[in-house]
Chain A
Amino acid sequence: MNPLNCRWHQSVVRTLTLAWLESLAIRRDPVILVMILIVPALQVALFGYALRPLGSAASVVLARADKDPGALQLLEKSGDFRVVADGLSEEEALARLRRQEALVAIVVHPPSASTGAVAITVYADDSDPVRSNPALSKLESLYWRQVADPDFVPQTEVRVERLYNPQSRNEWILTPALSGVVVMISMLMLGALSIVRERERGTWEAMLSTPVNALEAIVGKALPYQLLGCAQATLVIGCCRVLFGLPLRGDMPAFGLFLVMFIFAHLMIGLTISAAAGSQLQAVQGSVLIYLPSMLLSGFLFPFVNMPWWAQRLGALFPLTYYTEVARGVMLRGQDAAFVHARTLPVAAIAASALLAAVMVFRRRLP
């Protein structure tokens, strides 16, 4: 045989042998197989049904002196709008927008005493343009359909005000929630690899043979990462502020407290995964199981309110959902402490549940 061919053949055999060894390792780890083959299929089905990028009817509040049923019917008949309140004052309508009880506020001003013309201001919550832009487009097309009506009397002046991101800056759209995504992935990974790495290095058995109990071990492992997470979050948000001029209009101390809980929750979830995982590969796959649905079901990429109720319930299990709301609320809409605290509580509950789970799993796992 040609020696070149022989060397080539040996090289192929060696390569295939390594591939065979690796495939054996994969085949003999059923958890990895489930995570690689079955979970993605389930996720595609789940996200396919849950995510609605085209959106549903936009919520509208009307501020006007008279309650002319014609305008109401016009909006609701279009199928693109759902009027949640009518006859409000301009201030009440804007407050509802800030609290995210409506996406669009239509304020009909009293007719001009001299000309009789009616001025209308349309306010849209632009802290989430993925939702507000389609709503404004539909409103505009509705207006032009009216203009095309031969009976239409053009005595109306319409003005559109985009609130919270008036210049439609791209950076302001993404970065508030993105800062949470960055911190979430880091904390999940750090937590998920910490125990399993020690188990693989052999230090874990020695630690378990000491008086250290499960709670001490979990909290002790989390503490340095908690500090690291706080530093990371401060750095990321600081960068957003300096580089993109992201406004931080709301209650920052309350947001700081929320961040501490958000970081702790992800560390606890990561540590639970780590305590349960048999290898570092399993731990990484377990983390993906958390952060992929977090990103897709939290409102970070697709509007949360457009998702069906069951997907919203599911999304409510992920801390990132609350982070997305709080970050946009505090950074762009200037939300107060009460708004933030109301979302800190569920994240604290998730963190406490994850801590409990981590302790329980930890107790059952020995090297």
Chain B
Amino acid sequence: MNTPEPTDADAAVPVDISGLGKNFGAKVALADFSLRLDRGQIYGAVGANGGGKTTALRILAGLLPADAGSGRVLGVDLRAHPDWLRARVGYMTQHHSLYRDLTVEENLLARARVYSVADPRRRVARLLDEYGLERFARERVGRLSGGWMRRVQFAAALVPSPRLLLLDEPTAGLDLPTSQQLWASVAELAAAGVTVLVSTHDLSEANRCDVIGVFVEGEIVADGAVEDVIRRSAAVVVRVPTAGLDSASARANLPGVAVVRWGARQCDLVFRGEIPTAALRWLQDRNLSSQAADPTLEDAVSVFVSRRPLVAA
């Protein structure tokens, strides 16, 4: 029987993993995932659906066993002691995961008891207070709005006072103010030394992270600070007016284009690497005036997701 090795949940490097992999049958859900995070860092896992973000979070939460790789989370061997990790990592699932027939307070209290929190009622009272949930304490969760439900779910993930917090698309479906409040809470927690991993589709949220990783079909195709990821994508953006341009035709015939992002009056043509001469000629033939634009993280991720090889100029 495995007994947890002596460890320190306040480890200076809460996440230090290398080459983690997970397959579901023939499908590669996650391959060669390596990450090192210091205390208080916020890591954003971005990318398309099915990229492996949720699988990565589930492995770190001790929910799924990794098929490959190794590493330490909160100072303990990830693959040897998932039970130990589950007792110390805060995990907020992608979907609503609260008991709808129970009140907010009952949901939190149940969690506190499951985590063997020393004084469950006191802990719950504090969380209700910190996240403005007191007025809903005796309200059934099923009667709350989606935003409040998500906020309760966030508070539930914090019940064990985790040093590592894993949030799977925490702001999905939330309005802007609720989303901003949640990110403010994440920032406060990070400032207090909690390491946070967030998966998100909203690339504007990635700018709030210290480090991001771009997940594409189970692989981390780029990671680092947002600016580094944009630079490494080699995305080049050309903005052209939409008049006289057909999206399908552009996507099919414009040489080397990775993504065509259609707007009301103008559209961005995103290339990986330099713009091929043939593409410039294609635009000139259609009398389309073009101007260069700064690539955004969205452009960078689009380039990674499109998987177009670098095109020679």
Contact = CB atoms under 8 A, between A and B. Distances in A.
10 A-B pairs with the lowest CB-CB distances in the bound complex, closest first: A206-B97, A211-B87, A202-B95, A209-B91, A210-B114, A202-B97, A205-B93, A209-B61, A211-B86, A203-B97
B222 to A, nearest CB: 28
Interface in B55-113: 58, 61-64, 83, 86-87, 89, 91, 93, 95-100, 111
10 contacts: A205-B97, A206-B93, A206-B156, A209-B62, A210-B86, A210-B87, A210-B111, A211-B86, A211-B114, A211-B115
A206 B114 CA distance: 11
A33 interface: no
B62, B97, B98, B99: most-surrounded residue (chain A CB, <10 A): B97
B83 A366 contact: no
Interface of A: 201-203, 205-213, 366
Contacts of B116: 211
A294 to B, nearest CB: 31
A210 B115 contact: yes
B114 A366 contact: no
A147 to B, nearest CB: 72
A315 to B, nearest CB: 38
Interface of B: 58, 61-64, 83, 86-87, 89, 91, 93, 95-100, 111, 114-116, 156
A210 B160 CA distance: 9
Contacts of A209: 61-63, 86, 89, 91, 93
Contacts of B114: 207, 210-212
A206 B100 CA distance: 13
B93 A366 contact: no
B83, B100, B114: most-surrounded residue (chain A CB, <10 A): B114
B88 to A, nearest CB: 9
Given A206-B93, A210-B115, 14 more contacts: A201-B100, A202-B93, A202-B95, A202-B96, A203-B97, A205-B93, A207-B114, A208-B63, A209-B61, A209-B62, A209-B91, A210-B87, A211-B83, A211-B116
Contacts of B96: 202
Contacts of B91: 206, 209
Contacts of B111: 210
Contacts of A202: 93, 95-97
Nearest to A202: B95
Contacts of A210: 86-87, 111, 114-115
Nearest to B111: A210
A208 B58 CA distance: 10
A203 B110 CA distance: 12
Contact of A366 (B64, B87, B98): B64
Contacts of A203: 97-99
Nearest to B95: A202
A206 to B, nearest CB: 3
A203, A205, A208, A210: most-surrounded residue (chain B CB, <10 A): A210
B99 A366 contact: no
A220 B156 CA distance: 20
A205 B64 contact: no
A221 to B, nearest CB: 13
A205 B93 CA distance: 7
Nearest to A213: B83
Contacts of A211: 83, 86-87, 114-116
Contacts of B100: 201
Contacts of B63: 205, 208-209, 366
B289 to A, nearest CB: 48
A207 B93 CA distance: 10
